[in-house]
Amino acid sequence: MKILVINCGSSSLKYEVYEMPSQQSLGKGLIERIGLNDAIISQNYQDQKFQKQCEIPDHRCAFEFMMEALLDQDHGILSNLGEIKGVGHRVVHGGEQYSESVLIDADVLRAIEANIELAPLHNPANLTGIHESQRVFPGVPQVAVFDTAFHQTLPPSAYLYGIPREFYEKYRIRRYGFHGTSHRYVAGIALQMLKRSKDNTNLITCHLGNGASITAIQAGQSVDTSMGFTPLEGLMMGTRSGDLDPSIIFYLEERGFDFHDLHSILNKKSGLLGLSGISSDLRDIETAAEQGDLNAQETLETYAYRIRRYIGAYAANLVKVDGIVFTGGIGQNAVKMRERICNRLENVGIHINHELNRRVGGGAGIISQPYSPVSILVIPTNEELQIALDAATIINPGLDAIVI
């Protein structure tokens, strides 16, 4: 069966087609700058690339262009739309309602809409993608895969904040966590690589990209994660500040910064970009650091330190750690940063093998010393495949055996 994976953003539409249960990607595409007259659609199929620039005023039009690209006579992925037997949607926020992926019905749509106040930038676009997909593929089962679902196993001690309880009960303020689909996927691959059962394995998964989060996984369940009520909390990221003293906001307000200024600063002008003054791209900062730029050097050390601090805290709470996983653009590709992070973690049983680390590079593999009590793994994430797996097994329960 062929599964179409949809990731619908406010001005973009990503899609990929998977053949299941073989887990083979048949091709993928991206439509960018929706709403503008110079939108771009690009699609990769085998070794061929289809690209076109045109006006795409809205998401309905974007879906029409997607179908045109999927069925293109020379570069298309499908011979007809009837080949699609299911659609999997990335949905950012499922609130407390969903701890796993679900078949979309009227109740699910209402829940996604009810959670718009928790994810105002993402859930509306995700809903649009679902509605347009239902129009394009009438009668085809649609599945919602929530970024927050994996973290619904957090205990109250991990998800509650030290504020009046009424704020949780009335306004739903709690730690939700994000990147759940990625953490779940790489944890499953790690178990396969280590040849271990989830029942007796504890992992710390580090999704390090422009957005970054760390998750503590005990016996297959998320028990803590660094992102919180929003994706702003936790690690320092490409442009997000991560953890900071809340009083800083009040201090800056007293000096003339309004809500919109602060929102933009903390989400778009902080993190690697703000601290280095150079770029949100770690590669640019590493280049500047090698050339002697002090701000770049301090930024790299701060980034690594914040990650080490979370790893140490999670290791203490898990009691024993069997594996550390690096994934995401930085986690997978930044060889030197992996070494920076693992430096000084030997006291908690994390011993990196520098030669293996360099040899693995941006691929997949185990990079710890043979004597390291904690295995260190590099695993490329594949959220689209995880969404396809979820969709296929929900639509056809007989495929349960392929779930990662």
233-291 pLDDT, tens digit per residue, is 999 999 999 999 999 999 999 999 999 999 999 999 999 999 999 999 999 999 999 99
What is the pLDDT at residue 398?
Answer: 76
> Residue 402 pLDDT > 70, yes or no?
no
For residue 221, what are the β-bridge partners? 218
pLDDT band at 96 (very low <50, low <70, confident <90, very high): very high
What is the enclosing helix (H) or strand (E) of 324?
strand 323-327
- DSSP character string of 338-375: HHHHHTT-GGGTB-B-HHHHHHHTTS-EE-B-TT-SBE
Q: What mean pLDDT is reported for the chain?
A: 96
What is the Cα Rg of the chain in Å? 22
What is the pLDDT at residue 400?
Answer: 56
What is the pLDDT at residue 75?
Answer: 86
| Residues 135, 367: Cα–Cα separation, whole Å | 47
Q: Cα dihedral sign for 152, 153, 156, 161?
A: negative
Task: State the CB neighbour count (10 A cutoff) for residue 220.
Answer: 16
What is the pLDDT at residue 81?
Answer: 94
**Nearest CA-CA partner of 222 in 236, 203, 207, 206:** 203
Per residue in 113-140, is it b (16+ CB within 10 Å) or e — as a string? eebeebbeebbebbbbbbbbbeebbeeb
**Nearest CA-CA partner of 237 in 185, 308, 299:** 299
Residue 13 phi, psi (nearest 5): -145, 115
> Residue 404 pLDDT > 80, yes or no?
no
What is the pLDDT at residue 176?
Answer: 98
What is the pLDDT at residue 361?
Answer: 95
Percent of the chain having pLDDT more than 90? 93
Task: State the CB neighbour count (10 A cutoff) for residue 295.
Answer: 14
**Nearest CA-CA partner of 2 in 16, 293, 156:** 16
> Residue 403 pLDDT > 70, yes or no?
no
pTM score of the predicted model: 0.95
Residue 58 phi, psi (nearest 5): -155, 180
N residues, the chain:
404
What is the pLDDT at residue 397?
Answer: 87
The counts of H helices and E strands in the chain are 15, 14
Q: What amino acid positions are annotated as catalytic residues?
A: 147
pLDDT band at 136 (very low <50, low <70, confident <90, very high): very high
Question: Rounded to 5 degrees, what angle do the CA atoms 167, 173, 175 make?
Answer: 140
pLDDT in tens, 339-378: 999 999 999 999 999 999 999 999 999 999 999 999 999 9
Residue 240 contacts residue 266 (beta carbons within 8 Å): yes
Cα-Cα end-to-end distance for the chain: 18
What is the enclosing helix (H) or strand (E) of 241?
none
pLDDT (average), residues 194-202:
97
What is the pLDDT at residue 293?
Answer: 98
pLDDT band at 50 (very low <50, low <70, confident <90, very high): confident
What is the pLDDT at residue 297?
Answer: 98
**Structure-token pair, residue 220:** 């297959």
In one-letter notation, the amino acid at residue 264 is: S
Residue 328 contacts residue 337 (beta carbons within 8 Å): no
What is the pLDDT at residue 390?
Answer: 97
> Residue 399 pLDDT > 80, yes or no?
no
What is the pLDDT at residue 247?
Answer: 97
